[in-house]
Homo-oligomer: A and B are copies of this chain.
Amino acid sequence: MIISSRSNERVKQVRALRDRRGRDATGAFFAEGERVLRAALAADATIEQVVIAPERLSAGESDLAAALERRGLPVLEVTPLVFDALTLRAQSQAIGAVVQQRWQSLTDAGRRCWVALHDIQHPGNLGTIIRTCDAVGGDGVILSGHSTDPYHPVAVRGSLGALFSQRIVRATPDVLGAWAKAAGCTVIGTSPAGSRDYREVDYRAPVVLLMGSERVGLSEEQIRTCDALVRVPMAGSVESLNLSVAAALVLYEIYRQQEGG
């Protein structure tokens, strides 16, 4: 039976995951799209419930839905309109799943680099940074303060599946600082007030790239925990770069140096 009502109880449970309260209460989130779900499978994520809009399924999506059903996963069939109501800013997807969040702990120092974000506000920026961290072979993203939720629909979409391959960690600044020291990580902060160009610093692994919020950047206290403070040069009239752009520039410099490129 294909559900055509948003007030269906099972639909309401999935819809509740659009809000942080619903996600925090269940420890789950809704991931949509074939590419993202294949990334979830590849990363061995725990899928609780599959949702499909049968009349919209492409051949590849049908195969994926069948494969998920063969694993014994419950599959909810809904109309396209109901599917669109499951997420924010509908994008005409046909397949999605309720997936368990996976928060990891700070253990080893990692192979290349971490991005630590304090008070990051925009889920779109967070998703993009997770995606770029994956692209350079980074280890994961550490969130502190009042950061936005990496399982926000916009962050999930923006990460393009990297949310599953990257380690996602929550830590207080104190715990992060103690771990970085014990693990032998070099902590690099970014700030317009940084004394060194981001291409002049030695990023020998393991590195933690520490960035503050879109609005205020790093605090004085956080700056004191950094081994180096770098800036990205600017030649125009705007005061700052987008946070995910600044992160990408430094991450690609780390990648270049560590690969000897």
Digit string of A208-241 for contact with B (CB within 8 Å is 1, else 0)? 0000000000000000000000001111111111
The answer, among B161, B237, B256, for a CB contact under 8 Å with A238, is B161
> Given A132-B241, A158-B242, A160-B240, are A235 and B137 neighbors across the interface (CB < 8 Å)?
yes
Instruction: Determine whether A39 belongs to the interface, using a CB cutoff of 8 Å to chain B.
Output: yes
Decide if B124 touches A241 in the complex (CB within 8 Å): no
Taking Cβ atoms with an 8 Å cutoff, the residues of A that contact B are 35, 39, 42, 124, 128, 131-138, 158-162, 165, 197, 199, 232-242, 244-245, 248-249, 252, 255-256, 259, 261
> Given A124-B124, A128-B245, A245-B244, are A134 and B236 neighbors across the interface (CB < 8 Å)?
yes
Within the oligomer, what is the number of copies of this chain? 2
Decide if A261 touches B132 in the complex (CB within 8 Å): no
Closest chain-B Cβ to A60's Cβ sits at a distance in Å of 14
Decide if A135 touches B248 in the complex (CB within 8 Å): no
- Quick one: which of A39, A161, A245, A248 has the most chain B CB within 10 A? A245
Decide if B160 touches A236 in the complex (CB within 8 Å): no
Decide if B237 touches A134 in the complex (CB within 8 Å): yes
Decide if A235 touches B132 in the complex (CB within 8 Å): no
Give 15 new A-B contacts, CB below 8 A, not counting A136-B235, A162-B238, A165-B236: A39-B237, A42-B237, A128-B244, A131-B238, A132-B242, A134-B236, A135-B236, A137-B236, A138-B236, A159-B238, A160-B238, A199-B256, A199-B261, A235-B255, A244-B244
Q: Closest B-chain residue to A162, C-beta based? A: B238
Chain B residues with CB below 8 A from A131, complex form = 238, 241-242, 245
Q: Closest B-chain residue to A130, C-beta based? A: B238
Q: Closest B-chain residue to A246, C-beta based? A: B248
Q: Closest B-chain residue to A35, C-beta based? A: B239
A258 to B237, CA, bound (A): 18
Closest chain-B Cβ to A89's Cβ sits at a distance in Å of 11
Chain B residues with CB below 8 A from A161, complex form = 237-238
Chain B residues with CB below 8 A from A242, complex form = 128, 131-132, 158, 244
